[in-house]
Amino acid sequence: MKRLHTVSAAVLGAGTLLGLVACSPAEQSGSAAAGHTTITFTSYNYGTQGAAGTGTQALLDRFAQLHPEITVKPQGVATADVLTKTKAAVAAGAAPDVCRSGTASSPKHSRPCPRSH
């Protein structure tokens, strides 16, 4: 059962990544040059051992296959530090484009995607 939860968390994280990239206007996400965009992705699962780490890497690899025009620069952050480091990065004006912070804290720390007109 624990493995199922871990894999589910990795899948949810990738869904979050895909959803946030879809919501981000190109001029606000990462750096763009000649139709190519680079985004930063912070996750407590990236680079870890076990299903969460390998699942996250597999999802990043699949995303790269489906979206060759987007480069994702992942960064692993310890679970205990992800919110603190992300808040500090936001305050410093250097927030990641996408952050996997966990489902328990997401409602407190997320905002809806801006609507395009």
107, 17, 4: which is closest to 56 by C-alpha?
A: 17
Per-residue pLDDT tens digits for 39-86: 999 998 888 888 989 999 999 999 999 999 999 999 998 888 888 888
Query: What pLDDT is attached to residue 57?
Result: 94
Distant-in-sequence, close-in-space partners of 36: CB < 8 Å, separation ≥ 6: 69, 70, 71
pTM: 0.60
pLDDT of residue 28: 46
Q: What is the largest CA-CA distance in the chain?
A: 46
What percentage of residues in the chain have a pLDDT greater than 90? Answer: 33
pLDDT mean over 92-106:
79
Residue 97 near residue 40, CB atoms below 8 Å: yes
Q: Report how far residue 65's alpha carbon sits from residue 116's, in angstroms, rounded to the nearest whole number.
A: 26
At 37 the pLDDT is 94
